[in-house]
Amino acid sequence: MYSTTLCLPVQGKPAERILLGMKKTGFGCGKYNGFGGKIEDGETPAAAAVRELAEECGLKVQESDLEDVGKLMFSFPDKPELEHDVYVYIVRNWQGEPEETTEMKPVWFDVPDIPYKEMWADDSYWLPAVLKGKKVTGSVVFSEDQEAVDYISIRTV
């Protein structure tokens, strides 16, 4: 198992708009998602979120601007090497403008227009709560196709 981050730039409180990226390569290709990735050795989750956001869309943030909004565990029974936990952050303050990179194409969405059908199947279970200002914790078990959700348990805390 490995640890990852997910950073969600939003405008407004509660969130009115969210920046998502269309994944262009690798795991999750063809899906909209937040920005993030694996935590490197010796790196804190917050430092990884800052680094990944800059690498994937060019936004610069300070660790102090990250709002810790949850931790999720993802299991893939048919592919245990994909099992990981995710530290989820929201950020409302940054420097720069979102830029397309080789990995992600950033797109702003009004919250009512979030394209859940073009995202990971679990996102519609927990993301609305996070955008309303709640923290979440939980676990998700994906089916053998790594697309559908076989089991999900999400709590707001």
Domain 2-156 has CATH 3.30.420.130: no
Sort 53 into a burial class: Cβ within 10 Å, 0-12 / 13-18 / 19+. buried
Per-residue pLDDT, 27: 85
Share of the chain above pLDDT 70, in %: 100
Question: Which phi and psi angles does 62 have, rounded to 5°?
Answer: -95, 145
Q: Does pLDDT of 108 surpass 90? A: yes
Give the pLDDT confidence of 6-39 residue by residue, as tens digits: 999 999 999 999 999 999 998 899 999 999 999 9
Q: Which whole number is the average pLDDT over 108-124? A: 97
Q: Which whole number is the average pLDDT over 133-145? A: 95
Question: Which phi and psi angles does 12 have, rounded to 5°?
Answer: 95, 160
What is the pTM assigned to this prediction?
0.96
Q: Does pLDDT of 91 surpass 90? A: yes
